[in-house]
Structure 1
Amino acid sequence: MAFGQGLIFGIEVTWIWLALLLFLLFRIEKPAKYYYEQGLKALDKNSPKEAISLFQSALTKQSDFPEVRIALSELYVELGDIHSAEGLLSQTIEQRFELEKSVLLLAKVYFYQNKIDDLERHVRLWENNMDLSKPIREKLSLYNTLIRVNRRALPSPEKVSPPDIFDLGDHH
């Protein structure tokens, strides 16, 4: 009788451990990288709202995730949510994450909002105070020159796309 009770008790303990293990497996939260990768997949499937939600989840898990900040900012710009992009990029630059991409993307955001004074002020700041590569500095310098030469020559952002100097492509 003692053997049978022990065996039953042993089975009960095993089921308890198994239930606890399953509970823990489902409770373990996914890392920020998971949400970032899922966000990229959502973008590939042309699901921007889902991508935004996933990118935001990634930032909730890990606020210092530069790739997510850039991807989310680019998506906000693409969707016309310029204000959200501006806030996110300002924080990104302040924390010195992905400076070159962030600086150029924020310049694009200012262009879209026709915030020429802000753009001019930031271009000067970025030119003088940040450790940016030579090609990025040259792009910023060119834009600053264009601003100074003729501020009125800048067309309305509704009529044209930003100049190529905002290109976020490879610049090394």
Structure 2
Amino acid sequence: VSYDITGESLASVRPDGPTHYTADHPDAIQTVLGVAPEQVLAGIAAEKQKALSKTKQEAEEEKRLATAAYSVRVAEQEKQQRIIGAQAEAERIKLVARAQAEAYKRISEVIGPNNAALLEIMKLVAANNISITPQVMVGGAGSAGMTNALMGTILKDMLKTKLPQK
């Protein structure tokens, strides 16, 4: 906006286009006296509002970028934590396996390798509740022994289906 206070007319740029004022026009008089016309003030306010809006947008964008950068750092640290945890678990498994191998070796030296293997098999049988004794006993002489065994097996199966095992 330019004002000429020495000449007959004053020119200013307003939102609705250039306007020429004469020296006695109220807007020209206000301008000369240091009071800006309403439209000039409105233009200045609009520019300031636009600048404020742009500044707010830039601040929001910077906040989003900072949040994203922080999220990346957190993700990297969590990744490192998982890697360290996995390495520690792998080391623990190796140590347990070495200790178990050393224990098997010492047991084998004391009671012999065959007995050590038999001992481990019996541990597995006990741990998994595996039945190794027959459920039906066949006794007696003659052909009745086999019939009794067959009847015992059938009876055992019938009891299993009717009585739930705990």
Structure with more helix by fraction: 1
- State the structure with bigger RCO (CA 8 A, min sep 6), 1 or 2: 1
Say which one has the larger Rg: 2
TM-score normalised by L of structure 1 = 0.31
Structure with more strand by fraction: 2
TM-score normalised by L of structure 2 = 0.32
